[in-house]
Amino acid sequence: MHNDADVVSAARNGRTLSYRNIVYGTILVLLGLGALVIGVSTQLVVVGVLGFVAMLGGVVLAVTPTRGTPVVPTDKPHRAPASPQPSASFMDRMNDRWDRRNEDR
């Protein structure tokens, strides 16, 4: 693993984390936290319990890997391109520079 993006996209038995699920899970956790606070402040136990269940569901949604296409190992090791494409994002260019810098060690 070279960087944080590799951790998220790393295959675990054909399953990977989904950015969409992480975002939806985070939103669900925040909504559940709001419901929990409202339930505690108004002493409505049902709202607090529903908020807690929503928070729990959001965490499970965010960390559950989804089925992806199986990763087939190739003969050649992955190498960054010699010069980054001008259409590459800033973070892609920084990751390529980091990878090239670490290859020299």
The DSSP result for 24-60, as a single string, is HHHHHHHHHHHHHHHHHHHT-HHHHHHHHHHHHHHHH
Measuring CA to CA, how many Å separate 77 from each of 3, 62, 67?
Answer: 16, 31, 24
What's the total number of domains in the chain?
1
pTM of the predicted protein model: 0.53
Domain that holds residue 94: 4-70+79-103
More confident residue, 52 or 105: 52
Question: Mean pLDDT, the chain, as a whole number?
Answer: 79
Band of pLDDT at residue 17, cut at 50, 70 and 90: confident
